């Protein structure tokens, strides 16, 4: 069996790692992959946004399953191009991926289906947005409606900041076309939770719940990033509480997407805020989370590749029946281990940062530690940095505390010029 994984980050390394351990014994390609995927897959010199070249590669190599990691090729229609030619692919169509590609569409979908979310308005004109901000008091979140690499949302503490952020997006095109339309929503307070589910358009299967840390610095301070760490599962919640939340989110959205002619095939991600009034959905993503995936896949006891193949063949329900697994039986997928992932980032991230720094003293992968590469490549035999998020160090344990200690004991060994990481991932819950 041949599997192609599209993307180059830590999420894609985690997917390749999971597939390499599958009982299906696949031959794995990564396009383009990174310095870590070379150990378990064949890297292909094709960028994730070169849709035509990806389709040509799938045809030439007769790839059995393509797994699309990043959101951009999904939103731009890679799945449609592959399925139109009869190829199996794990990921949503262009229309279904609009649940992430347009925050305006996502919010309206939640409103239609009764999925609890924050109060919001959408704007394309700055003067209207400014007037709304001043009337609302300024305690809002301003979001670019389109894709902004996980950095398009700003939590504003006052009216002045919110106006400046809206101006930067609408008038100064801070995120290009992605911020020609913005969403301004009420700022919610509480703790966050990430729920992800496999779906074939009819059935869904929940993964172990996780929590991401978006802010750049300790104590959730600093600018938003693509994610500085995560942990899974969330054992502060009872399984039936997680199940109840999932049932309020996934079935109504999946049903409505099917009614709109966009049945959802792939991995649907719901980011929630757990407020004093109950869970509220902050956003939907059309793919695996990053770095949540690096914490979730290592604790799964079922075969993720088997599940993704079942999704691509519209037989997720049959797979669940064979394995006596209901939609919200995430504990059957996740077992009883814990994982904590800490990201080693380049100095300056998420703003400007240097590249080409030599990486040294990487711990070896063991039963308790896995090093997932993100912004790395091999240059003249040396492993060097190529991105802002360089590595994701995942520690495993029989308890959350053990996983925390393992992750931090391992990341402390990593060396490259300017390396930094948060010191509170999983510690302040």
pLDDT band for position 429 (cuts 50, 70, 90): low
For the stretch 52-110, pLDDT in tens is 999 999 999 999 999 999 999 999 999 999 999 999 999 999 999 999 999 999 999 99
Whether residue 105 is contained in a domain is answered as no
pLDDT at 275: 93
Whether residue 391 is contained in a domain is answered as yes
Return the percentage of the chain with pLDDT > 90, whole number. 92
For the stretch 136-153, pLDDT in tens is 887 899 999 999 877 788
pLDDT at 124: 95
Whether residue 283 is contained in a domain is answered as yes
Q: Which domain holds residue 401?
A: 338-411
Averaged pLDDT, 165-181: 93
pLDDT band for position 237 (cuts 50, 70, 90): confident
Q: Are residues 316 and 289 in the same domain?
A: yes
Whether residue 423 is contained in a domain is answered as no
Q: Are residues 210 and 230 in the same domain?
A: yes
Q: Are residues 216 and 307 in the same domain?
A: yes
- Residue 141 sits at φ, ψ, to 5 deg, of -115, 125
Better pLDDT: 15 or 155: 15
Whether residue 422 is contained in a domain is answered as no
Q: Are residues 221 and 315 in the same domain?
A: yes
Whether residue 225 is contained in a domain is answered as yes
Q: Are residues 307 and 358 in the same domain?
A: no
Q: Are residues 265 and 203 in the same domain?
A: yes
Whether residue 127 is contained in a domain is answered as yes
Q: Are residues 207 and 310 in the same domain?
A: yes
| pTM of the complete model | 0.95
Q: Are residues 215 and 316 in the same domain?
A: yes
CATH number at residue 16: 3.40.50.20
pLDDT at 139: 86
Q: Are residues 259 and 300 in the same domain?
A: yes
Whether residue 417 is contained in a domain is answered as no
Last residue of a domain, which of 186, 212, 230?
A: 186
Q: Are residues 284 and 402 in the same domain?
A: no
Q: What is the mean pLDDT of the chain?
A: 95
């Amino acid at each position: 069996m041949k599997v192609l994984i599209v993307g180059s980050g830590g999420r894609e390394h985690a997917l390749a790692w999971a597939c390499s351990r599958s009982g299906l014994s696949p031959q794995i390609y990564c396009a383009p992959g990174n310095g870590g995927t070379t150990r378990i897959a064949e890297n292909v010199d094709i960028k994730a946004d070169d849709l035509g070249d990806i389709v040509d590669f799938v045809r030439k190599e007769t790839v059995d399953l393509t797994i699309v990691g990043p959101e951009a090729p999904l939103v731009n229609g890679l799945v449609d191009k592959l399925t139109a030619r009869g190829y199996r692919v794990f990921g949503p169509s262009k229309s279904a991926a609009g649940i992430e590609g347009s925050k305006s569409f996502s919010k309206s979908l939640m409103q239609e289906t009764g999925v609890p979310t924050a109060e919001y308005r959408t704007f394309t004109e700055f003067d209207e947005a400014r007037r709304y901000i001043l009337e609302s008091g300024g305690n809002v979140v301003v979001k670019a409606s389109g894709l902004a690499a996980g950095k398009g949302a700003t939590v504003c503490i006052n009216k002045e900041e919110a106006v400046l952020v809206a101006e930067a997006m609408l008038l100064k095109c801070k995120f290009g076309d992605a911020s020609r339309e913005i969403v301004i929503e009420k700022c919610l307070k509480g703790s966050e939770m990430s729920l992800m589910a496999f779906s074939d358009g009819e059935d869904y299967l929940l993964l172990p719940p996780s929590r991401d840390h978006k802010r750049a610095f300790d104590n959730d301070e600093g600018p938003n990033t693509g994610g500085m760490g995560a942990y899974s599962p969330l054992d502060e919640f009872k399984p039936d509480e997680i199940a109840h939340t999932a049932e309020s989110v996934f079935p109504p959205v999946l049903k409505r997407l099917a009614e709109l002619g966009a049945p959802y095939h792939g991995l649907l991600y719901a980011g929630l805020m757990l407020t004093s009034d109950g869970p509220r959905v902050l956003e939907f993503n059309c793919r695996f989370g990053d770095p949540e995936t690096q914490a979730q896949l290592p604790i799964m006891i079922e075969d993720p590749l088997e599940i993704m193949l079942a999704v691509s063949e519209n037989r997720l329900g049959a797979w669940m029946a064979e394995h006596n697994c209901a939609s919200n039986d995430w504990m059957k997928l996740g077992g009883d281990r814990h994982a904590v992932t800490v990201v080693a980032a380049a100095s300056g991230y998420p703003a400007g940062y240097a590249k080409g720094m030599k990486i040294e003293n990487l711990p070896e992968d063991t039963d308790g530690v896995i090093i997932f590469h993100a912004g790395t490549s091999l240059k003249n035999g040396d492993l060097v940095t190529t991105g802002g998020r360089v590595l994701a160090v995942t520690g495993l344990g029989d308890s959350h505390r053990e996983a925390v200690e393992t992750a931090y004991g391992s990341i402390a060994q990593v060396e490259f010029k300017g390396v930094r990481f948060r010191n509170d991932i999983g510690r302040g819950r």
